A and B are shown apart, each in its own frame.
Chain A
């Protein structure tokens, strides 16, 4: 391949895998615990072989007792504004924890930040495996996606949020994404979901090792789902309690195209409420437990193809230097 068609990118010198950012999303909690255990065992055996991928495993929320959060959602505490500013005795636990994580893995936006953050999550929605990022042109993330997709069905979700406004843990690294798998109830570990997440992380690490060995990754297309809007439940105007549930024909139909007029909700008196938008869009995070309090019954995305450029870490240039 001609060199000008392939972007030269720096080696990924450190990767962080984080679990338990939401304390009741158990796949990540257990996977990181197991990875930490395995690392301890390797060290015990005094294995002199250098680590294939320099890997930092982080339990984001070590005090967590199987709740999503204690004071506030940790995964919304990583904006530049939240990470700076004064602290007091009243500062929520998660804001303090976010700053500790920023010191450990960042600082966000700086030269010293880890190269890649993979933050593990579960959802009650029937989304299968997804990578969720802020960018549709981060070639590292896109190539990791392409590599995983060769082995596992998954989708690429893009939230078009600027670096300034990005709020989640994965935004601390130079590159980052959330690895989201569902459906799994919060507080439960399902073996099929756990094994899928374990395989996803392993394939990601395999790709990083391959990239760091100087392999070239050719250009190719990726289907990207870009979030367009959220839809809330219908609510009682006084009490704000919901007055309808996700329609049975929409329940579990994540990424099945929702057309104008398609069923959205079923009221408790049996009436169907329909999608009034003009544009057919792809629903996801349908009936995610944690989003009731955020006013989101489902999110809607537009799908488009993105051309992912070829990339390489130019090992041969270093050898020839």
Chain B
């Protein structure tokens, strides 16, 4: 019997995957998945098949973000259906393989949940990344995780912006969950970052087990930071960067940036101020991999979403 009149029903989450190495130099996920591939006891839950998987093994071998192109941008419909086999860029071939194994994307056969493990050089702490504001299963899972790790914090980043959203590795699943933990330099394994990621996965899997056993999760509100705009570095006519993230903004992910606040500092010390009309919440501040994507930081706005009660069908 349901306690809540409008409980959304979802099938049990029976097939779950944990991806590491989508970017080969983001070491927490690479290390955790390798550990779990050797011994998966820690990630097993009753009634759930949880598969650890290295998505970009060539990039992991060379400890680089990617070989030909960013795997985490490769899961477009065009790429997934492209003919050409071995002639295709390595990551497109990988995307097609991953789509076969864990998808097909958008179909009933797709995996129920995929966790994709990432690190960032930005001071984002633990961040869960949501791709749809209407995914009540994920909203409830993220609420559960946040409560479970309190007083430690974990924020939710929502990216469903029509232009800034991208086709992620995890998007082949019905419920894709990104987990981003920073700050950590690329190619480096920091013990505190590694353990923080590990604890979040533990709680996420606990949630899935509880859900599968019939627990009903009441309606709740979820604070999210919704991606609204990307801001690039100031550049000269040749495309070279001419200013750095300002020391007042560096490491201040999730803190309010008000109109007139310092934003960039030129190499000779002048300040460039934020010229927007309202307070925003920047994140992904000074992420190494985003210099080539023309992104110094991302602007987000604080929103409160309402998650329906959920229980298994």
Contacts and interface: CB of A to CB of B under 8 A. Distances in A.
Interface in A18-61: 30-31, 33-34
A289 B187 contact: yes
B121 A185 contact: yes
B192 interface: yes
A194 B185 contact: no
A304 interface: no
B244 interface: yes
Instruction: Give the interface centre of B183, B186, B188, B241 by most chain A CB atoms within 10 Å.
Output: B188
Given A124-B185, A186-B185, A192 B191 contact: no
Contacts, number: 87
Given A124-B185, A188-B288, A289-B186, A30 B267 contact: yes
Nearest to A31: B267
Interface size class of A (residues with CB under 8 A): 20 to 34
A238 B244 CA distance: 44
Contact of B244 (A194, A268, A287, A289): A194
24 contacts: A30-B241, A34-B268, A66-B291, A66-B292, A183-B185, A185-B188, A186-B288, A187-B291, A188-B288, A190-B250, A194-B244, A194-B267, A198-B267, A242-B31, A245-B189, A246-B189, A246-B190, A246-B191, A248-B192, A268-B35, A287-B189, A289-B187, A289-B188, A292-B187
A185 B185 contact: yes
Nearest to A245: B191
A188 B190 contact: no
A209 B64 CA distance: 43
Nearest to B288: A187
A185 B186 contact: yes
A191 B288 contact: no
Contacts of B168: none
Q: Which 3 A-B pairs have the closest CB atoms?
A: A185-B185, A187-B288, A289-B187
A100 interface: no
Given A186-B185, A187-B186, A187-B289, 12 more contacts: A30-B241, A30-B267, A31-B267, A34-B267, A66-B291, A124-B185, A188-B286, A191-B246, A246-B191, A247-B191, A251-B191, A292-B63
A226 interface: no
Interface string A276-309: 0000000000010110110000000000000000
Contact of A192 (B186, B247, B267): B247
A251 B192 contact: yes
A195 B192 contact: no
Contacts of A246: 189-191
Contacts of B35: 268
Interface in A240-254: 241-242, 245-248, 251
A233 B194 CA distance: 16
Given A190-B244, A268-B31, A195 B269 contact: yes
A135 interface: no
Nearest to B35: A268
A266 interface: yes
Given A190-B244, A191-B244, A248 B288 contact: no
Interface string B266-294: 01110000000000000000111101100
B70 to A, nearest CB: 14
Interface string B101-116: 0000000000000000
